[in-house]
Structure 1
Amino acid sequence: MTFSGIIVAAGSGSRAGGDKQWRILGGKPVLRWSAEALLKAGAAELVVVVAPGAQDRAAQALAGLTGWRAATGGDARADSVRAGLAALTCSPDQPVLIHDAARPLLSAAIVERLIAALETAEGALPALAVADSLRRAENGTTTDEVGRDGLWRAQTPQAFRRGVIEAAYAAWTDAEIPADEAMVVRRSGGRVVLVPGDPRLLKLTFPEDFAMAEALLSQDAPRYQTRIGSGYDVHRWSPGGSVWLCGIEVPHDQTLIGHSDADAGLHALTDALLGAIAAGDIGDHFPPTDPKWKGASSDRFLIHAAELTARRGGRIVNVDVTLICERPKVKPHRQAMRERIAALLDLPLDAVSVKATTTEGLGFTGRGEGLAAQAVATVELPAPQRE
């Protein structure tokens, strides 16, 4: 069953030191953890509700992710949730998961439990039984003991069908501000059930909570090793009207000769990726003797190398391409080249570098006989496990 998601990220986070949704946790913004988790779990659409004027911060935090859009929230959580619901495009029967950005360590198992629970209830939320003994106190002195039987710690996401939660909010007439969506649905007569929560799904409320979350992430992180691959390619010039460089067609009075489209930049980068994972070179995977690669787009070669890297459990960290030629001028096209490579490799733009240099008239590139390209790629691969 598909679902829609809402992430509430409009709060100030004052108890955690402010702007906790934008702080870096495990190498990326807190907000991004929840967005990635919901999108990976299968969210058909995702609305991220932020404070007025924070859309640019959200775009920066979620750069490279697709399937989400921003909405502007209000002063109270209920106002932000209403704004998120209004921004959805799904049907009234669609399950909607409403999640706090401050709970970054969301698992797919929680999402599955919540959606399954909506088959028999109007709402569902993950919860943990209270394990500690509880006390009431005044001025630091215990005044009473509180029984913990039947007490649960509520977490998010909370799940409802869109029509149910919207109708419940429409019927809310109490002067008090609702603590959460489960309270709104329950007051409207809906049945809200608990599903097993996750101790890791802690809420980042106080500064020390960040240290706990970092510790949990460090335990989960697979042991990686950094690999660096290099690539080099050369093609001869021939009369023509344009040349392909780093995935972009550049107008020129010459073209490069090659079995494929002769994109030396992408060829060098493909070899760099293959080198980083020790998977041979471009000729092993796309032999120039094979007629099916005649005139082929070099995009296909680079994507193939990236897919091989992913199958190994690897992650491309950054790439750097240098084009060596006297002509054409690369600088006017450099940004487009970076954007094209970033799109092909699903990398943020700041992880892609394209440069150009000349040889001051020396050598075959200096004489205008050909163009050369060299590339470096950094890849993280799971480290081999030793007995």
Structure 2
Amino acid sequence: MDYELIFLAAGQGKRMNTNQNKMWLELASEPIFVHALKPFLADSRCKHVIVVCQADEKHIVERFLEKMVLPASELARIELVSGGAERQYSVKNGLAKCGTAELVLVHDGARPFVSLDMIDRLCETASCGGAAICAVKVKDTVKRVEQGIVQETLDREKLWQVQTPQAFKQETLKKGSRTSCD
């Protein structure tokens, strides 16, 4: 099933304690951004890529896209849009540019390890159930803390760390976006 991609690249590196967008850091001589984008560009089902980035970093995104030496047909399906103050507003801005594809995938540009198999499974699951996420079981001990005092140790057998990409039927994502942004 064909899909559109909202590729989130508007991060500010706050959690990483850096003043640089972590997507511009290099991994194997290429920016993380490039590694994260390549699997989607290689997927013929991906009909439209909406790169959501900070307005003042659009020139950086354009430069990386130029360096990727993409065919005109691939460049034509990439659109840049400005991000919002928080992730949910960036997703909303990306959704506003989506066309008519039934499925929309959302991916964090700082996550470079995506496979076509992962995308296949997400699309298949979302097309049947309305949404699908990637997640890994929590391995670390997690505590619930209030005012600096440990209240309890959470049962890690019941905890999962959600990652991207995530897949949604477009109407499901639009409904969720309206709820989270209101």
1:246-261 paired onto structure 2 within 5 Å:
none
Q: 1:24 to 1:174 in 2, by over 3 A?
A: closer
1:59 to 2:62 alignment: yes
* Aligned 8 A contact 2:134 2:164 in 1: yes
Say which of 117, 127, 137 aligns to 1:109. 117
**One-letter amino acid of the structure 2 residue matched with residue 146 of structure 1:** L
In structure 2, the partner of 1:122 is 130
- C-alpha offsets along residues 289-337 of structure 1, whole Å, 9 cap, x if unaligned? xxxxxxxxxxxxxxxxxxxxxxxxxxxxxxxxxxxxxxxxxxxxxxxxx
In structure 2, the partner of 1:9 is 9
- C-alpha offsets along residues 203-238 of structure 1, whole Å, 9 cap, x if unaligned? xxxxxxxxxxxxxxxxxxxxxxxxxxxxxxxxxxxx
Structure (1 or 2) with the greater helix fraction = 2
Distance 2:38 2:54 in 1: 20
In structure 1, the partner of 2:30 is 28
Distance 1:5 1:158 in 2: 10
Distance 1:78 1:50 in 2: 13
1:1-387 paired onto structure 2 within 5 Å:
1-16=1-16, 17=18, 18-42=20-44, 43-63=46-66, 64-65=69-70, 66=75, 67-89=77-99, 91=100, 93-136=101-144, 143-170=151-178, 172=179
User: Secondary structure, in 3 states, of the residue corresponding to 1:132?
Assistant: coil
CA RMSD of the aligned region, Å? Answer: 2.2
Cα offset, 1:41, TM superposition: 2.5
Distance 1:173 1:123 in 2: 16
Cα offset, 1:81, TM superposition: 0.7
Instruction: Report the TM-score when normalising by structure 2.
Output: 0.84
Distance 1:71 1:157 in 2: 19
In structure 2, the partner of 1:283 is none
Unaligned runs of 5+ residues in structure 1 are 176-387
Please identify the structure whose Cα radius of gyration is greater. 1
RCO greater where, 1 or 2, for CA within 8 Å and sep 6 or more? 2
Identity of aligned residues (%): 29
Instruction: Report the TM-score when normalising by structure 1.
Output: 0.41
Q: 1:15 to 1:132 in 2, by over 3 A?
A: closer
Q: 1:140 to 1:87 in 2, by over 3 A?
A: same
Q: 1:138 to 1:119 in 2, by over 3 A?
A: closer
Cα offset, 1:13, TM superposition: 1.0
Q: 1:148 to 1:142 in 2, by over 3 A?
A: same
Distance 1:32 1:117 in 2: 26
Cα offset, 1:137, TM superposition: 5.1
Cα offset, 1:15, TM superposition: 3.1
Q: 1:143 to 1:108 in 2, by over 3 A?
A: same
Cα offset, 1:139, TM superposition: 8.8
Q: 1:160 to 1:173 in 2, by over 3 A?
A: closer
User: Secondary structure, in 3 states, of the residue corresponding to 2:107?
Assistant: strand
Cα offset, 1:174, TM superposition: 7.5
Aligned residues: 172
Distance 1:73 1:53 in 2: 10
